[in-house]
Amino acid sequence: MNSGGKRPVRAIVLTGNGTNCEREMAYGCRLGGADVVDIIHISWLLEGEVSLSDYDFLNLPGGFLDGDDMGAARASANRFKYRKIKGTNRVLFDEILQFIEDGKLVFGVCNGFQLLVKMGLLPGEEREGRFEQVVTLSHNDSGKFEDRWVTLKVNSLSPCVFTKGMDQVYLPVRHGEGKFYPQSEEILEAIKKKDLQVMVYCHPETGKPTDIYPYNPNGSVEAIAALTDGTGRVFGLMPHPEAFLHRTNHPRWTREDLQEEGDGVKFFRNAVDYLRGRI
């Protein structure tokens, strides 16, 4: 793909330890316009065989990381924060912080969102030079795994670069631990004050946030389904945009007049467009 004379946008999609949506995520990056899309096993980063610095767009897809032992994405968060990269004194978390500081993008979906939350990168509450976890994604109120489609309202005031120009989207959820819950009322108010709540579960008829099941499939506080950090460049959400890239992914594709392109492509295109303008 021609990148207009500028260096190509390079996307990396991590896989390994239970991830199962990496191919769909990579396809979303390609449809969004990324020039290079590599699916990389996390061990290659930890062994120093691949460097995160060679990429512009980090994708953390969904799956069942480490079998969701110790809670969804907890074991993987520990791996990122404490296991040193071979031959260095740095951990992968340090590389991600540098990646963000360099103005690049991070996209976490489902398990990827849980991972960003448990590493403390969302909503990005830094205390005394350390990122701490201040929100969680806990077990669904229904007490079961939820596999259904939901309507989402986009917060137009959010700084998130992934959702620019978007209003309402329809995406599937597939999770057992997706209930957004803040550590305290103060944390929740800080998130709302900065408009870091990017999307909320809404009623499909009114378009307003809801705590009614199944429109809010997990009981998330304030119906929050997605977060960004203060830069707008780190983004995590529970629903799966990579699962709606084409009209035939839609549950009613034989009964409704739908556009060929699914709602999920917009997130990836916004990311690549942002990087094109930055590079």
Instruction: Give residue-wise pLDDT tens across range 145-192.
Output: 999 999 999 999 999 999 999 999 999 999 999 999 999 999 999 999
Query: Which one from 24, 95, 177, 242 is the annotated catalytic residue?
Result: 242
In whole angstroms, how far apart are CA 38 and each of 15, 133, 249?
A: 10, 29, 23
Q: Please tell me the predicted confidence (pLDDT) of residue 70.
A: 63
State how far the Cα of 32 lies from the Cα of 270, in Å rounded to an integer: 8
C-alpha torsion angle, residues 269, 165, 247, 170 (rounded to 10): 120
Q: Please tell me the predicted confidence (pLDDT) of residue 255.
A: 96
Query: What is the DSSP code (8-state) at residue 21?
Result: -
Q: Which fold has domain 10-278?
A: Rossmann fold (3.40.50)
Residue 2, pLDDT > 60, answer: no
- Average pLDDT of the segment spanning 228-241: 98
Pairing of strands 224-228, 197-201: antiparallel
Residue 4, pLDDT > 60, answer: no
Encoded amino acid at 106, one letter: V
Our answer to whether residue 110 is catalytic in this structure is yes
Q: Please tell me the predicted confidence (pLDDT) of residue 163.
A: 98
Query: Which one from 21, 29, 110, 202 is the annotated catalytic residue?
Result: 110
Q: Please tell me the predicted confidence (pLDDT) of residue 128.
A: 67
Q: Please tell me the predicted confidence (pLDDT) of residue 279.
A: 59
State how far the Cα of 184 lies from the Cα of 136, in Å rounded to an integer: 11
Read off the pLDDT of residues 179-233 as tens digits, 9 standing for 90 and up. Answer: 999 999 999 999 999 999 999 999 999 999 999 999 999 999 999 999 999 999 9
DSSP 80-126: HHHSBPTTSS-BHHHHHHHHHHTT-EEEEETHHHHHHHHHT-SS--E
Read off the pLDDT of residues 116-135 as tens digits, 9 standing for 90 and up. Answer: 999 999 999 777 678 899 99
Identify whether the C-beta of residue 131 lies closer than 8 Å to the C-beta of residue 169.
no
Identify whether the C-beta of residue 48 lies closer than 8 Å to the C-beta of residue 87.
yes
Residue 71, pLDDT > 90, answer: no
H/E run at residue 251: none
DSSP 120-174: T-SS--EETTEE---EEEE--TTSS-EEEEEEEEE-TT---GGGTT--EEEEEEE
Query: Which one from 95, 202, 240, 250 is the annotated catalytic residue?
Result: 240
DSSP 177-189: S-EEEESSHHHHH
Read off the pLDDT of residues 25-70 as tens digits, 9 standing for 90 and up. Answer: 999 999 999 999 999 999 999 999 999 999 999 999 998 877 776 6
Would you state the structure tokens that stand for residue 253, as one six-digit string?
A: 């594709």
Residues 6+ apart with CB under 8 A from 137: 72, 113, 114, 117, 177, 178, 179, 180, 181, 238
Residue 137, pLDDT > 70, answer: yes
Characterise 253 by phi-psi region: left (phi > 0), alpha (psi -120 to 50), beta (else): alpha
What is the percent of the chain with per-residue pLDDT over 70, rounded to a whole number?
A: 96
Q: Please tell me the predicted confidence (pLDDT) of residue 236.
A: 98
State how far the Cα of 129 lies from the Cα of 132, in Å rounded to an integer: 10
